[in-house]
Amino acid sequence: MKQKHAVVIGAGFAGISAATHLAKNGFSVTLLEKNESPGGRARKFESNGFTFDMGPSWYWMPDVFEDYFSHFGKKPEDYYELIRLDPSYSVVYGQDDILDIPANLSEFKAKLEEIEPGAAAQLDLFLAQAKYKYQVGIHDLVKKPSRSLKEFASISLFKDVMRMDIFQSMSAHVRKFFKSEKIIRLMEFPVLFLGETAENIPALYSLMNYADIALGTWYPKGGMHEIIKGMVTLAEEKGVEFRYNTEVEEIEIENAVARRIRLVSGERIDADVVIAGADYHHVDQHLINPKYSNYTEEYWNKRVLAPSSLLFYLGVDKKLKNLRHHNLFFDEPLGPHADAIYTHPRWPEAPLFYACVPSITDSTVAPENMENLFLLIPLAPDLEDSEEMREKYYNLIMERLEKITGQEIRSHVIYKRSYAHSDFKTDYHAYKGNAYGLANTLKQTALLKPSLKNKKTKNLFYTGQLTVPGPGVPPSLISGQVVAGEVTKEFS
């Protein structure tokens, strides 16, 4: 029997995962990437002796990475060295109000007890529920392709879902256990990765707290791109062909069958099956004949997107003090319009921001006696960004950073690059310049997400952060595995 040829579009986590699983399952696989290197949002770049991860910087859920590599008889340590961070991260509540989060659970409980008597015992109860959600959610529910209600029809699974607090908000759930606003903000922080405020995210996602507190925060030496490097090596070992600087112009569909890929260069590539790991909206609205689109533009416009980001990659010519590897700046109150950073197309007055200094842990990412500083401000998608606005917000957060850490930084910046909405659109065709896909609201969970299968063709599938299971690096790895499983069932 002739080997089936699968074409995967996009070499991000989901695309590489899908391609590698398909190759393992007997497909001939070609992976097309419009940019000059793999990784998607997890690309890296080097300048002036600094190595910058362009996107993801948190390594959570180590068991998901272990599970991924185990499918191919490998382990993460075959490709990169992991370091557990301690403290896991630092939370800045104000000028002299900084909380380091210890990796040791007993030490963490003692810190909470100092803030709110009785909080340690409450944390045990909170984590017991979060552990159950993690075990069921990450090891079962997120691996459902969510193409039919039948997938969720078993009595035992129905009982599991009912125990997952899907109809209660994360905000309400946390407040059942804790009263201190400091602890509440700390417990609500992980759902920011899911693209919405705690008021609009189901309490199911307290599973993120289990990942944070129990499983720990890790760092792959050399940077997050080392994961991509390892995945590419593994994929090539399995026979995946990578083609870079190769942008897709059209997926040519005839009689409801995706027959071939037409590149911007004019070249055509025949395919038996196509898996789009590129931006779902871009594929659905721009790469296929409109009569085969899964959704209308009106549908897409009504989706609740996760935020975009304004990023700064900075090289600093001295060592910095009073900062950890990961630093969350909650020094400004959220206020009554906290959801503005996610939904309302306006620039916030006092944004939250995040600072990452990987050179504290890893001397390879910056020259000797210098610092690699990555700053991120979450912003609503679909904003008009400009160099003037980027510079305004650079100075706004740098003033806070310098004041809180007690040091001059701006005069020591010898390399600076910014990245925001227009860059996400240019590099990834990101819908409305989003950085993280769709928010994991209740109405955008499982069956209510954009389908991983094109409903009007026989052989076009989707993977990545705009379909199941959702945004984030571990979900993207799982997304690739899930879609490869569906393709294999239908075409092998």
Q: Same domain, yes or no, for 327 and 372?
A: yes
Name the residue type at position 450: P
Mean pLDDT, range 6-22, rounded to an integer = 98
**Mean pLDDT of all residues belonging to the chain:** 94
pLDDT given at position 194: 80
Whole-angstrom Cα distance, residue 404 to residue 93? 10
pLDDT given at position 121: 98
The answer to whether residue 86 sits within a structural domain is: no
* Tokens of residue 80, six digits: 């990169």
pLDDT given at position 51: 98
The answer to whether residue 239 sits within a structural domain is: yes
* pLDDT tens digits for range 83-138: 999 999 999 999 899 999 999 999 999 999 999 999 999 999 999 999 999 999 99
DSSP-derived secondary structure letter, 284: I
Residue 35 above 70 pLDDT?
yes
The answer to whether residue 88 sits within a structural domain is: no
* pLDDT tens digits for range 200-214: 899 999 999 999 999
Q: Indicate the pLDDT class of residue 166, thresholds 50, 70 and 90.
A: confident
* Structural domain ending residue among the three candidates 428, 454, 483: 428
Q: Same domain, yes or no, for 299 and 326?
A: no
pLDDT given at position 344: 66
DSSP string, 87-107: S-EEEEEETTEEEEE-SSHHH
* pLDDT tens digits for range 306-337: 889 999 999 999 999 999 999 999 998 765 44
Here the CATH number for the domain that contains residue 181 is 1.10.405
| Strand pairing category for 326-329 and 89-94 | parallel
The answer to whether residue 87 sits within a structural domain is: no
Q: Same domain, yes or no, for 140 and 243?
A: no
Mean pLDDT, range 473-484, rounded to an integer = 97
pTM: 0.96
Q: Are 275 and 66 in contact (CB under 8 A)?
A: no
Mean pLDDT, range 446-457, rounded to an integer = 96
Q: Same domain, yes or no, for 277 and 314?
A: no
pLDDT given at position 154: 66
Q: Same domain, yes or no, for 174 and 264?
A: no
Q: How many domains does the chain have?
A: 3
* Structural domain ending residue among the three candidates 381, 407, 428: 428
Here the CATH number for the domain that contains residue 368 is 3.30.519
Q: Same domain, yes or no, for 272 and 296?
A: yes
Q: Same domain, yes or no, for 482 and 455?
A: yes
Q: Same domain, yes or no, for 295 and 317?
A: no
* Structural domain ending residue among the three candidates 184, 199, 215: 215
The answer to whether residue 96 sits within a structural domain is: no
The answer to whether residue 434 sits within a structural domain is: no
Among the ranges given (83-87, 161-165, 204-208, 478-482), the one the predictor scored with the smallest mean pLDDT:
161-165
Length of the chain: 492
Whole-angstrom Cα distance, residue 20 to residue 232? 9
Q: How far is CA 141 from the centre of its chain?
A: 18
Q: What share of the chain has pLDDT > 70, as a percent? A: 96
The answer to whether residue 91 sits within a structural domain is: no
* Tokens of residue 97, six digits: 């109000």
pLDDT given at position 343: 59
Range of the domain at 29: 5-81+222-303+440-491
Whole-angstrom Cα distance, residue 202 to residue 323? 32
Phi, psi of 173 (to 5 degrees): -65, -50
The answer to whether residue 144 sits within a structural domain is: yes
* pLDDT tens digits for range 73-91: 999 999 999 999 999 999 9
Q: Same domain, yes or no, for 313 and 396?
A: yes
